[in-house]
Amino acid sequence: MKKSFGHGDRPVRFRMKQFALPAITAAWLLLTSCSFMQSREVTISPASASEMEQYYQDESFSREGLSFESENFLRGNMEQIDYEKDPVAALHKLNEYYAISDDPKFLRIAADLCRWAALDSGDMEFAIRGHLSALYYTKAAFASWPTDDDAPVNDFASFRMMQIYNDACRGIFSYLKAHKLLANNAFSLLDLEDRRYFFEKPFYHLSVPDDTIEDFSLCSDYSVKALMQKNRQPGVGIPLVGYLAPQETHKILKSPRGLTIPVTLIVELKENDSNEMEVRLDYLDTSLEETAPSELAFLAEDDVPLALDFSTPLACFLDSLPDRNLISVMLESDRQEDNSGLFLIEPYHPGKIPVLFIHGLMSSPDTWVQMINSLKNDPVIRKRYQFWFYSFSSGMPILATAGNLRRILLAAREELGTTQEARENFDKMVLIGHSMGGLVSRTLLQDDPHYMVETVTQRTWDEITASLSEEEMDAVETFAVLPPLPFVNRVVFMAVPHRGSEMAKWSLARFGSRLVSLPKTLQEKLPLFARVFEKINKEKYEELERLHRERGDKDDQPSVSGLYDLDPDSIFIQALADSPMKKGLVYHSIIGDQERADHPGGTDGVVPYSSSHLDNAASEVIVHSGHSIHRSPAAMRELLRILRLHLRELEGK
């Protein structure tokens, strides 16, 4: 008896879903540890005042209040001036000392005093005057630094001046943002000693057009929770989150609302021929550069690193995405068109190699956040790679998911490959697949596109095509013919069930498989494919029908789904396991073991080693981890090694 794949059973299955959803959720998460019911893992919230200050005090050279040098001198030499109540009078005295001695120590103390006065003040108008004065004196202090190579350099004093400069940048930015002056260049402000500062038009060095920036915020304004490590680096400037306006830059690559870029702000100060102070805010995209520009001459040294923060912009982007119930995403695959596709987490860059992450069963792109954050901690990886995600409903049959991804990637290459640089980097793409995502990857990298359909039907390709109509051929090619991607020559398999998982046989999994609602176009093609299969090899078709009935499938419920594909007895997984991968493909395996690392023969709790292992892999690493291996620091280190290896081997060609 043939199965029906129409809509007639939808209300019944919908009621079943309502009844079964809590049970499936609890049991499946408990048993597989493959994901969480909700997609959100890392969270972000407004930082408290103490958290804001702690953000900057995490830097090794940070210190609250005045430095020992400043406090010691002021207490011992300002007996007639209360510098805490009258910092301006203290500044005048320090200028007198400097005029007499020409000792840059007094400029450093003046800068420190201005910083302290600004941060200690509760008056924003007084504070901005203090920050401008601090900016003036840090520039003067750096300009007075010894230029003789033999002269001793006080590294602590240099670091202290950099921190004072950074605090001045932060204070100036906060004031201008609060007064809606960030984009304005027709105003001036006074410092503590009534010097006037004229603000020029801001300078932007970004990876996106200037007019696509919607807003900037201090990274310190946010408190990021649940990240395994904070991807930050101390240096000059203030880390910002740059928010991009919603845009449809590409037809294929999706840019969700809330896309962010990592930015560092530096404030340039110069004195013009009329002895007026000119100020300019420079917004530097740290995905493009990580050292202060040479024009910032008062830093006194070349290649001074910028202050960097890649974690907070990433967390802000993820926080802008809608949280999704992953059980519903899996079961209601017919409603996931908007959530499916190739997604960016940063603006597209033609000069960087795409690394495409493909998630597993009942998961989402959010699952990769720890991995991405860890990889971005490496400067070589940041410079040479960009990270993309493929999002899909894991309730879909794996062949259908792989077919969709193949069409999307081919279209993306055509759209993006407008320059030689873009084409060359696209063709160096690396695929990373976790669990079911690894099966999707492998499906796209078979050596013979006809191998699976020939194996399943036990007929040659010529025999299959001899008697099929154009419509029937379309059904076959949709489900069973996937030529290998020509531009992918390296793939990393993470906890992938190449030979299936016994858990897919459990009655709970089979019950869940029957609840999956497939997209209408797929439902319409499935009966045609079944008829074609029966037409090609009726005996084999009837054998599979008997297998479905033994599994407990009913005539009015489809047995075709991503869950079913994971069954070790499914025709898909058996054919894929035996299918040779394309010639020249370099593949790596990262496998989990619940008990210990470097121990073949165990299990990650969902997939046994016997299913994850592949002969002839370029490398195989077994880490101490459950099935969520992509959150394991050991797996992160191994992927970092592989991506660096990929670069070295490309350079050697």
Q: Which of 569, 397, 546, 551 is nearest to 480 (CA)?
A: 397
Are the CB atoms for 528 and 471 separated by under 8 Å? Answer: yes
Query: pLDDT value at position 39?
Result: 56
Lowest mean pLDDT among 4-8, 17-21, 183-187, 534-538: 4-8
Backbone angles phi, psi at 572, to 5 degrees: -65, -55
pLDDT for 558 equals 45
How is 40-60 classified by DSSP, letter by letter?
--SEEEEPPHHHHHHHHHTST
Q: How many CA atoms lie within 13 A of 216 on its CB side?
A: 28
DSSP label of 449: T
**Weakest-pLDDT range from 259-268, 456-465, 483-492:** 456-465
Q: How many CA atoms lie within 13 A of 615 on its CB side?
A: 4
CB 72 within 8 A of CB 33: no
Terminus-to-terminus CA distance in the chain, angstroms?
A: 57
Reported as a single tens digit per residue, the pLDDT across 424-469 is 999 999 999 999 999 999 999 999 998 988 888 888 888 888 888 8
CB 583 within 8 A of CB 35: no
How many whole angstroms separate alpha carbon 207 and alpha carbon 463?
53
d(CA 434, CA 228): 19
Whether residue 484 contacts residue 452, with contact meaning beta carbons closer than 8 Å, is answered with: no
Residues 220-245: pLDDT tens digits?
Answer: 999 998 888 888 988 899 999 999 98
Q: Which CATH superfamily is domain 10-31+327-652 in?
A: Alpha/Beta hydrolase fold, catalytic domain (3.40.50.1820)
Q: Is the pLDDT of residue 34 over 80?
A: no
pLDDT at 131 over 70: yes
What are the b/e assignments for 41-52, b being 16+ CB within 10 Å? bbebeebeeeeb
Q: Please give the angle made by the CA atoms of 430, 366 and 504, to the nearest 5 degrees.
A: 85
Compare 418 and 13 and report the one with higher pLDDT: 418
- Measured CA to CA, the distance from residue 473 to residue 464 in angstroms comes to 9
Start-end ranges of CATH 3.40.50.1820 in the chain?
A: 10-31+327-652
Q: Check pLDDT > 50 for residue 121.
A: yes
Take residue 90 and report the two structure tokens written for it.
Answer: 């203290």
Q: Phi, psi (5° rounding) for residue 469?
A: -80, 175
Residue with tokens 């030529």: 483
- Share of residues in the chain with pLDDT > 90 (%): 45
Taking the C-alpha atoms of residue 118 and residue 121, their distance in angstroms, rounded to an integer, is 5
Burial class (CB in 10 A: 0-12, 13-18, 19+), 40: middle
Q: What pLDDT does 81 receive?
A: 76
pLDDT at 518 over 80: no
